[in-house]
Amino acid sequence: MPHSLVESCLSKALTAKLRICFGHMKKFKAFPCPVVFLMTLDICIEGAKTSLYALSLLSYHGENVTECVTEAQRLVKIMQSGYALPVSTGSMLLNKFTSTSSEFFNRSVPICKTK
């Protein structure tokens, strides 16, 4: 598969990130296409981790739990493409949903405190 085909599938922003993250390697264009795809997957997984940690229920209108959880599931599915999910992912997500304006909802979500 030619590099021009691979590069046409990647956005300009993603290509720029690849060059920044892996620019220390000489002859970036000399890598085989599957290696470039793996490097791209690695960048996407790291972006999903960052987005998941930044996820906040307050950023959804009316603290819409359904939309927030849907986004969290989408990000976790991307992260599952990697080697393994971080151990504290579940408890981190539960803690995000125990700070709503609804006291009833806060009490109904099991609390897992992480150190």
* Overall number of domains in the chain: 2
Rounded Cα distance, 67 and 64, in Å: 6
Rg of the chain's alpha carbons, rounded to an integer? 19
Q: What is the dihedral of CA 1, 81, 76, 84, to 10 degrees?
A: -160
In the structure encoding, which two tokens stand for residue 110, read together? 């099991």
Pair (13, 30) in one structural domain: yes
Domain boundary among 23, 39, 54: 54
**Contact indicator for 45, 81 with CB cutoff of 8 Å:** yes
Give yes or no: residues 50 and 60 share one domain: no
12, 62: one domain: no
Residues 29 and 77 placed together within one structural domain of the fold: no
Domain boundary residue, one of 54, 70, 97: 54
pLDDT over threshold 60, residue 111: no
The domain in which residue 19 lies consists of 1-54
Whether 90 and 38 share a structural domain = no
Confidence of residue 115 (pLDDT cuts 50, 70, 90): very low
pLDDT digits (tens, 9 = 90+) for 39-59: 888 888 888 999 999 998 888
